[in-house]
A and B are shown apart, each in its own frame.
Chain A
Amino acid sequence: MDRNDSFREFVAAHQQALMRTAYLLAGDAPQAEDLLQSVLLKVLGRWSRLSRIEHPEAYARKALVNQYISWRRRRVTTEFLTAEPPDRPYSSEDSTVARLVMRQALMRLPPRQRAVIVLRYYEDRTERETAELLNCSLGTVKSQTHYALARLRALAPELAPKLADMEAEEANR
Chain B
Amino acid sequence: MTWLRDVLVDLANDSPQVDLAERTIATHDRRRRTAVSLLAAAMVVVTALGVTAAIRLLPSEPQEAASTGDLPARGVGPLSHAYKTFCEPDSGKAPSGCRDGGWRVVTRSGKTYHVPEALPSLAPGRTGLRDSPLAISRDGRKIAYYSAKEGTFQVRDLASGQKTTAPSKVPKDWLGSVSRLMLSDDGRFVAFSKVPEFKDPALLIDMRDRVVRQLPNRWVPIGLSQDGATITLAQYSPRSRLRTISNLRPSSSGGNTTSSVILPGHYFFSPLAPDGKSVAVIENRSTAEKPCRQGNLALMDSFTGEKRKTTVISGLSPDVSQISLRTWLSADEVTALTMSVRCRPASEVPDDEPAVIDPPYRTMTVYAVNVRTGKARKLTTYRAQGFFEIVLPGPPGAM
Contacts and interface: CB of A to CB of B under 8 A. Distances in A.
Q: Give the interface residue-count category, chain B.
A: 35 or more
A49 B399 CA distance: 20
A29 interface: yes
A170 B2 CA distance: 12
B11 A103 contact: yes
Given A9-B195, A95-B10, A19 B15 contact: yes
A95 B198 CA distance: 24
Decide if the interface of chain B is mainly helix, strand, loop or mixed.
Answer: loop
A36 B8 contact: no
Interface in A121-168: 121-122, 124, 162-163, 166
Contacts of B350: 48-49
Nearest to B339: A2
A35 to B, nearest CB: 11
Given A1-B322, A13-B237, A41-B28, A52 B16 contact: no
B330 to A, nearest CB: 27
B15 A32 contact: yes
A105 to B, nearest CB: 10
A3 B356 CA distance: 7
A13 B375 CA distance: 35
Given A23-B14, A162-B4, A11 B355 contact: no
Given A13-B196, A52-B288, A53-B288, A24 B346 contact: no
B5 interface: yes
Contacts of A47: 355
Contacts of A99: 7, 10-11
A24 B11 CA distance: 7
B18 interface: yes
B17 A4 contact: no
A74 B196 CA distance: 32
Contacts of A102: 7-8, 11
A24 B8 contact: yes
Given A3-B359, A36-B20, A162 B3 contact: yes
Contacts of B196: 11-13, 15-16
A33 interface: yes
B1 interface: yes
A166 B288 CA distance: 41
A30 to B, nearest CB: 9
A2 B385 CA distance: 8
Contacts of B48: none
A89 interface: no
Interface of B: 1, 3-12, 14-25, 27-28, 31, 131, 176-178, 195-196, 198, 237-238, 286-289, 291, 322, 345-346, 349-359, 385-388, 399
Given A11-B24, A37-B20, 6 more contacts: A2-B356, A2-B387, A13-B237, A20-B15, A29-B14, A122-B12
29 contacts: A1-B322, A4-B25, A5-B386, A8-B131, A8-B178, A11-B196, A16-B17, A16-B18, A16-B196, A19-B15, A19-B17, A22-B15, A23-B11, A23-B12, A24-B15, A33-B20, A37-B23, A41-B27, A45-B354, A45-B355, A49-B353, A52-B345, A53-B288, A99-B10, A102-B7, A122-B8, A122-B12, A124-B5, A166-B3
